[in-house]
A and B are shown apart, each in its own frame.
Chain A
Amino acid sequence: MTLNYMTGAEAVIKALVDNGVEVIFGYPGGAVLPLYDALFENKKIKHILVRHEQAAVHAAEGYARSTGKVGCVLVTSGPGATNAITGLTDALMDSVPVICLSGQVPTHLIGTDAFQEADTTGISRPCTKHNYLVKNADKLCEIIHKSFEIASSGRPGPVLIDLPKDIQLTNVKYIKKLQKIKKHNHYHSNVDEVLINKVAKLLLQAERPIIYAGGGVVNSGPKASKLLTELVNLLDCPVTLTLMGLGCVPNTNKNFLGMLGMHGTYEANLAMHNCDVMLNVGARFDDRVTGRLNAFAPNSKKVHIDVDKSSINKVVSVDYGIVGDCKEILSVLVQEVKKLHNQKVLKLKTKWWSQINKWKEKDSLGFKQIGNNIKPQQAIKSLYEKTIDFDTYITTEVGQHQMWAAQYFGFSKPNRWMTSGGLGTMGYGLPSSVGVQIAHPKSLVIDISGEASFLMNMQELSTIVQYKLPIKIFILNNEWMGMVRQWQELNHGSRYSESYTSSLPDFVKLAESFGITGLRVDNIHNLEATIDEIININGPVIADIRVEKEENCFPMIPSGAAHNEMILNSDDNVKDTSNEGLALV
Chain B
Amino acid sequence: MSVYQKNELEEDETSRTLSLIVDNQPGTLARVIGLFSGRGYNIESLNVTEIDEIRNLSRISLVTRGTSNTIEQIKSQLLRIVPVHIVRDLTLEGPFIKSELALVKLVVKGANRVEALRIAETFRARTLDVTLSSFVFELTGKPSKLDAFIDLMRSLGDTEVSRTGVSAISRGDKTETKLLDQI
Contact = CB atoms under 8 A, between A and B. Distances in A.
Contacts of A122: 30
A125 B30 contact: yes
Interface string B24-41: 001100110010001000
A291 interface: yes
A585 B31 CA distance: 27
Contacts of B30: 122, 125
A121 interface: yes
A580 B31 CA distance: 32
Interface in B28-76: 30-31, 34, 38, 69, 72-73, 76
Contacts of B4: 287, 290-294, 560, 580, 584
Interface string A127-153: 001110100000000000000001000
A315 B2 contact: yes
A125 B69 contact: no
A575 interface: no
B82 A150 contact: yes
Interface residues of A, number: 31
A313 B73 contact: yes
A133 B26 contact: yes
Contacts of A292: 4-5
A186 B80 contact: yes
Contact of A130 (B1, B82, B183): B82
A287 B183 CA distance: 36
A313 B69 contact: yes
Interface in B97-145: none
Interface string B76-93: 110111110100000000
Contacts of B183: 185
Given A121-B27, A584-B3, A313 B82 contact: no
Nearest to A157: B80
A120 to B, nearest CB: 12
Contacts of A310: 73, 76-77, 79-80
B80 A308 contact: yes
Interface in A291-325: 291-294, 308-310, 312-315, 317
A520 B8 CA distance: 55
B27 A314 contact: no
A313 B34 contact: no
B182 interface: yes
Contacts of A186: 79-80
Contacts of A515: none
Interface residues of B, number: 25
Nearest to B83: A130
A504 interface: no
A310 B31 CA distance: 16
A317 B7 CA distance: 12
B34 A126 contact: yes
A184 interface: yes
Interface in B1-22: 1-5, 8
Nearest to A132: B27
A119 B158 CA distance: 41
B34 A125 contact: yes
A583 interface: yes
Contacts of A155: 80
B166 to A, nearest CB: 25
A130 B38 CA distance: 16
B133 to A, nearest CB: 41
Nearest to A292: B4
A184 B82 contact: yes
Nearest to A309: B76
Interface in A20-44: none
A185 B182 contact: yes
Nearest to A129: B82
Nearest to A149: B82
A146 B79 CA distance: 18
Contacts of A131: 27
Contacts of B8: 294
Nearest to A121: B27
A563 to B, nearest CB: 12
Contacts of B1: 315
Contact of B2 (A130, A184, A293, A583): A293
A335 B3 CA distance: 39
A499 B2 CA distance: 28
Nearest to A159: B82
A150 B80 CA distance: 11
Nearest to B86: A185
Specify which of A184, A185, A312, A583 lies most central, judged by the most chain B CB atoms within 10 Å of its CB.
A185
Nearest to A310: B76
A292 B2 CA distance: 10
A126 B31 CA distance: 8
Contacts of B77: 310
Nearest to B183: A185
Nearest to B3: A584
Nearest to B27: A121
A247 B168 CA distance: 50
A584 B76 CA distance: 26
A287 B76 contact: no
A132 B171 CA distance: 37
Of A122, A186, A292, the most chain B CB neighbours within 10 A belong to A186
A149 to B, nearest CB: 10
Most buried by A among B27, B30, B34, B81: B27
14 contacts: A131-B27, A133-B27, A155-B80, A186-B79, A287-B3, A287-B4, A290-B4, A292-B4, A293-B2, A293-B5, A309-B79, A313-B72, A314-B73, A315-B1
Given A131-B27, A309-B79, 13 more contacts: A125-B30, A130-B82, A150-B82, A185-B85, A185-B182, A185-B183, A287-B3, A287-B4, A290-B2, A292-B5, A294-B5, A309-B76, A312-B76
Q: Which 6 A-B pairs have the closest CB atoms?
A: A310-B76, A293-B5, A130-B82, A293-B4, A309-B76, A315-B2
